[in-house]
Amino acid sequence: MAAAGYNQGTNRIYVSTNSGATWFASGAPAMLTIGASVQYWISIASSADGTKLVAAVADGGIYTSTNSGATWSSNNVPNPNNWNAVASSADGSRLAAVAGPNSPPGSIYISTNFGNTWTVTGAPTASWYSVASSADGSKLLAGTFGGPAYLSTNSGNTWIQQTNLPAARWEIMATSADGNLLLAVASQVGSGLGGRIYISTNAGTFWVQANAPTNQAWMAFCLSADGMNMAAVSDRVFICSTNCGNTWTSNNTPRLGVKWGGMASSADGNKLVLVANGPGGIYTSQSTPAPQIYLTATGGSFKFSWTVPSTNFVVQQSSDLVIWADVTNAPVLNLINLQNEVVLSPAGSSGFYRLKTP
């Protein structure tokens, strides 16, 4: 499942259920200008399985869907008229929404029940611009428009200013599934410097500037579940990293010189979706997955796991590496690390397992 908000033309939310091959308008209302208020979709977030969506209207409310966008509701949602970004936990139950940067400054709101009710957090009143959530919703990273960034490690109850980071226009925030790797992307630092990308590998204890091009007005960014794969785009360059941001390579975007409105990644980082504004377009990129397999002892059995792939895999087993058979145990998605897990009981003293594309 993929989802994208589009704020021009029909001003609708479109969804895809086949990895972006085709798109169709969801059941979300088309935003209209009401009086002096110009309403348009500004941010959208999804659960890991794509069934639960949350979307914000810039000068309106927050809408949620529990059926992959077929129907939407906006019940008991605060309406400060300056929403800017939303984030979701992997199961879609925990949501965060930030208000700003219009005047007056806004607050950060959270929901712990799929958006049915919302509460304001203890974050300071500010011009909030971006927010990201770990898979379980416990770690939240939020940035302001031209000011500091803040981190919460207790689902928004308390917030800590990230003093290692400069004042900046924090365009995008991102986290790994466990929330230990954090990304803060600025389209402008201070009053004169161009964009910068900052990384923390220890849950915000310390931040470093990434070895990425500087003076870029970064418009979109995405991150794989383990934090190894990253991609960023400005109107002049598209870059990728496969080693937690230590090194970056430049790649060709479909079009340069346009305002990119958003980007998303599959959990394994092999599928990217890129959205362009004015004139708009949705682009996808698929690379061949090379999944990392994990084996963990659990009682008398063991757990076979791998990060949720952008291409489906089937678990197979063999006793001699010649004859392979499909494992009938259905994988279960772990919403903490976004890994598919299969618990297996060894049939003998040794055995071999692999992942195979169907």
Query: What pLDDT, on the 0 to 100 scale, is given for residue 1?
Result: 46
Q: Give all domains of the chain, ordered by start, each with its CATH number.
A: 2-286 (2.130.10.10), 293-356 (no CATH)
Q: Which residue has the tokens 């000011």?
A: 147
Could you tell me which residues are beta bridge partners of residue 5?
Answer: 13
Distance CA 87, CA 105 (A): 19
Q: What is the mean pLDDT of residues 175-200?
A: 92
pLDDT over threshold 70, residue 137: yes
pLDDT over threshold 90, residue 230: yes
Examine residue 124 and say whether the peptide bond preceding it is cis (omega within 30 degrees of 0): no
Q: Which two tokens stand for residue 37?
A: 């208020």
| C-beta neighbour count of 61 within 10 angstroms | 17
**pLDDT tens-digit series, residues 238-296:** 899 999 999 999 877 667 677 788 889 999 998 898 888 766 678 888 887 778 888 88
Question: DSSP code of 227?
Answer: S
Distance CA 326, CA 324 (A): 7
pTM as predicted = 0.89
Query: What pLDDT, on the 0 to 100 scale, is given for residue 7?
Result: 44
Examine residue 166 and say whether the peptide bond preceding it is cis (omega within 30 degrees of 0): no
Distance CA 34, CA 97 (A): 22
Question: DSSP code of 107?
Answer: -
pLDDT over threshold 60, residue 141: yes
- Strands 301-307 vs 293-298: parallel, antiparallel or unpaired: antiparallel
pLDDT over threshold 70, residue 142: yes
Question: DSSP code of 326?
Answer: E
Could you tell me which residues are beta bridge partners of residue 144?
Answer: 128
Cβ–Cβ under 8 Å, residues 281 and 23 = no
